[in-house]
């Protein structure tokens, strides 16, 4: 019997250097330090391009070891998209070019062009054979879940199959879930029983393909895999059983005929099927796939990967910005490379691994997209505004841009400012994420920060907490955390209820559409947003109109906002203009000044009125400032979410909410409010520019 071992090592574009260093020391280096001693064992190896480029620069001796193992015939190098894109999320030409970039690099370093490709997150769609074939790829690996979803059984999966799309052929190997959950977590006798049973049935091939990080970086595995010797015992087991079990490469086994033809539908691994579903259905799916009765697990299909773009509008914003840029960057290699780097998959989804909840990974996507835009922008001063369906949901948005800023407005919900790119720092300072219910939140109360991983469970089976009392932060927003969010509130609303997002708002402006018009003038562009809404009292809607006019001028990093509030409301009410700024963290030298001195970005409460609200982030090199007309107070709090990662449940800072509030009295006529939002840069000495 043959065993294929495929190790996939990946770090997303934008991950911090120390994270890569930790992963290298915990998993990437020790794995091969052990493997090199077992000369009869062959593996297949994939490194994503961002990680491998880092290794080339930082760890030349390690790369030399990999080259030596390749020369000895003990490694087959597997290719993939250079910056680990999910191929179904990007244009086919981009996917082919990314694979060619990666294959070129592998051929340059290892002297042989890869024949196979690792699919990011094993996300497969029916057109994938065409994409890979055009890029010169002959085989790939997916999960057994892909095959079981179309009615195949476990016994059908010990081999490989041939598929095609419009005549483009591809060999597809099914990786076995049992091996994913056994290696390196279960005792070797469990693995031995499974493989001998397969051999006894006459099966010729078993395939294991999974993340290299599970060998030392996943919780508890450093101790179990290396200190307690699981990996060494595994290699000794393989070495001692070569009479009936031998490790082979993909290319070696392709000399054996396939089991037959196959056509797969849109699938990934089973856990991704859970994460990509709406939360309620995700819980049902999780219960179904966890059922111990085999009869309950026949042809269970989870969600569709692209549903992440619906589930998380913040993901869709990045995705559609990327799609709009990749078309116009085709003739500029420098800009195109930035687009490729922004296609790294991690920031576009969320599960145990997905990085959407990690601000620094979202920031990386925006950084590269803004860098591409800067390269493609006119070099002379300019300003322009458009109204168009930029996020492709069938309803228009508005976009204002000049040399310094690019501002996106969500017209169908509140006319809010949901993206503000400060081009000199290549930073979207409003890459916010709102607090939402996730299916795993029900498990938060059952976890403890004292729980310890022992390396016997996969991260899919563990639930740990990084701190006690995380349930205290489980509040959910009923609107997107953007800026220029217009709150019409009763005088009885409290800061606490507003923070919890558990209050009644008599105005109908936050989630309702605004009418928009845009006028481009010689040196400025003006966006007019109007909503003829209501102030609801006793079931009666009292007419209330809010008009906000946004002006951007050429060659200035500022946006001017003028409000006009008018209507038949006879009682005073509170009007708040909410801003959310997404800094990459809340600590270090970051601060805000709401008029009474520097305070942390995580400060909570109601502060005295101030006409100048300042924020300072020397790490992103941005310092936004809000100037406003005489508010009665300023409300603030950090927007924090409880999310799940490889190391358990954790609290993540997403943005700082800041809202100047006015007491509005319309009995003597309309009320005007003027604001100015300026984004200043910070130089290398951390001084304002």
Active site residues: 121, 211
Which residues lie closer than 8 Å to 198 by C-beta, 6 or more apart?
1, 158, 206
The b/e string for 97-131 (b: 16+ C-beta within 10 A; e otherwise) is bbbbbbbebbeebbeeebbbbbbbbbbbbeebbbb
Tokens of 445: 């109360």
Going by C-alpha positions, the residue among 84, 85, 103, 163 that lies closest to residue 130 is 163
Cis amide leading into 184 (omega within 30): yes
CA separation (Å) from 584 to 362, 482, 641?
A: 9, 16, 14
Count of CB atoms within 10 A of residue 272's CB?
25
Max CA separation in the chain (angstroms): 94
Tokens of 483: 């800026």
Which residues lie closer than 8 Å to 61 by C-beta, 6 or more apart?
none
Question: What is the sign of the dihedral through the CA atoms of 245, 246, 251 and 252?
Answer: negative
3-state DSSP helix/strand/coil percent for the chain, to nearest 5?
Answer: 30, 30, 40
Sheet of 612-616, strands arranged across = 515-520, 524-537, 540-553, 558-567, 671-681, 622-628, 612-616, 591-593, 598-599
Cβ 50 vs Cβ 12: under 8 Å: yes
What element of type H or E holds 561? strand 558-567
Count of CB atoms within 10 A of residue 185's CB?
21
Tokens of 297: 């697990």
Cβ 373 vs Cβ 79: under 8 Å: no
Tokens of 90: 């990007």
Tokens of 215: 């060998």
Going by C-alpha positions, the residue among 448, 311, 442, 430 that lies closest to residue 362 is 430
Helix 333-342 and helix 359-376: axis angle, to 10°?
160
Tokens of 96: 């082919």
SS3 of residue 529 by DSSP: strand
Three-state SS across 303-332?
CCHHHHHHHCHHHHHHHHHHHHHHHHCCCC
* Cα 638 from Cα 433, distance rounded (Å): 12
Going by C-alpha positions, the residue among 287, 342, 351, 298 that lies closest to residue 84 is 342
Tokens of 95: 């996917």
Q: Could you write out the DSSP letters of every residue in 431-491?
A: --------GGGGGGGG--TT----SSS-TTT---BSSTTGGGG----SS---BSEEEEE-T
Helix 333-342 and helix 313-328: axis angle, to 10°?
160
């Amino acid at each position: 019997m043959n065993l294929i071992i495929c190790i996939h090592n990946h770090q997303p574009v934008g991950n911090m250097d120390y994270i890569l260093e930790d992963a290298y020391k915990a998993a990437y280096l020790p794995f091969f330090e052990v493997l090199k001693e077992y000369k009869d064992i062959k593996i297949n190896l994939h490194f994503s391009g961002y990680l491998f480029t880092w290794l080339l620069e930082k760890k030349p001796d390690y790369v030399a070891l990999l080259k030596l193992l390749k020369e000895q015939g003990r490694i087959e190098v597997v290719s993939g998209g250079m910056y680990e894109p999910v191929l179904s999320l990007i244009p086919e030409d981009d996917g082919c070019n990314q694979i060619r970039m990666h294959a070129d690099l592998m051929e340059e370093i290892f002297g042989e062009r890869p024949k196979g490709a690792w699919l990011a997150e094993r996300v497969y769609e029916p057109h994938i054979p065409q994409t890979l074939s055009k890029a010169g790829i002959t085989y790939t690996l997916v999960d057994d879940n892909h095959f079981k979803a179309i009615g195949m059984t476990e016994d059908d999966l010990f081999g490989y199959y041939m598929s095609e799309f419009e005549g483009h052929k591809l060999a597809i190997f099914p990786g076995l879930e049992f091996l994913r959950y056994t290696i390196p977590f279960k005792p070797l006798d469990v693995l031995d029983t499974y493989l001998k049973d397969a051999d006894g049935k006459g099966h010729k091939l078993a395939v294991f393909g999974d993340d290299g990080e599970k060998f030392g970086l996943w919780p508890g595995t450093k101790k179990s895999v290396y200190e307690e010797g699981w990996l060494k015992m595994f290699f000794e087991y393989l070495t001692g059983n070569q009479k009936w079990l031998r490790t082979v490469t993909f290319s070696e086994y392709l000399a054996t005929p396939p089991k037959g033809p196959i056509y797969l539908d849109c699938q990934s691994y089973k856990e991704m099927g859970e994460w990509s579903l709406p939360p309620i259905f995700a819980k049902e799916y999780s219960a179904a796939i966890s059922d111990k009765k085999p009869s309950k697990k026949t042809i269970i299909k989870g969600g569709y990967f692209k549903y992440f773009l619906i589930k998380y509008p913040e993901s869709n914003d990045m995705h559609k910005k990327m799609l709009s840029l990749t078309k116009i960057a085709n003739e500029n290699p420098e800009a195109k490379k930035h687009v490729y780097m922004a296609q790294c998959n991690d920031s576009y989804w969320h599960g145990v691994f997905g990085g959407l909840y990690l601000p620094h990974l979202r920031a990386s996507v925006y950084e590269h997209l803004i860098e591409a835009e800067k390269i493609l922008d006119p070099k002379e001063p300019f300003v322009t505004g458009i109204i168009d369906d930029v996020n492709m949901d069938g309803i228009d948005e508005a976009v204002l841009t000049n040399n310094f800023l690019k501002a996106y407005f969500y017209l169908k919900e509140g006319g809010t400012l949901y993206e503000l790119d400060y081009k000199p720092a290549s930073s979207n300072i409003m890459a916010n994420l709102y607090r939402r219910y996730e299916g795993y939140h029900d498990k938060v109360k059952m976890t403890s920060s004292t729980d310890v991983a022992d390396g016997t469970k996969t991260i899919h089976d563990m639930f740990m907490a990084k701190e006690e009392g995380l349930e205290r932060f489980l509040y959910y927003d009923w609107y997107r955390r953007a800026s220029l969010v217009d709150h019409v509130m009763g005088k009885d609303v409290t800061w606490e209820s507003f923070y919890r997002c558990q209050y009644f708002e008599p105005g109908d402006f936050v989630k309702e559409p605004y009418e928009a018009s845009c006028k481009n003038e010689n040196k400025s562009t003006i966006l007019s947003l109007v909503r003829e809404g209501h102030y609801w009292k006793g079931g009666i809607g009292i007419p209330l109109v809010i008009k906000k006019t946004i002006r951007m001028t050429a060659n200035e990093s500022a946006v001017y906002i003028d409000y006009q509030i008018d209507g038949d409301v006879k009682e005073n009410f509170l009007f708040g203009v909410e801003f959310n700024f997404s800094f990459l963290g809340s600590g270090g030298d970051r601060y805000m000044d709401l008029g009474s001195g520097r305070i942390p970005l995580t400060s909570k409460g109601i502060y005295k009125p101030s006409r100048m609200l300042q924020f300072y982030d020397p790490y992103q090199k941005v310092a936004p400032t809000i100037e406003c007309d005489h508010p009665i107070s300023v409300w603030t709090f950090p927007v924090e979410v409880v999310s799940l990662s490889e190391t358990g449940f954790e609290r993540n800072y997403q943005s700082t909410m800041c809202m100047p509030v006015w007491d509005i009295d319309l009995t003597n006529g309309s009320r005007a409010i003027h604001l100015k939002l300026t984004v200043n840069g910070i130089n290398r000495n951390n001084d304002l520019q």
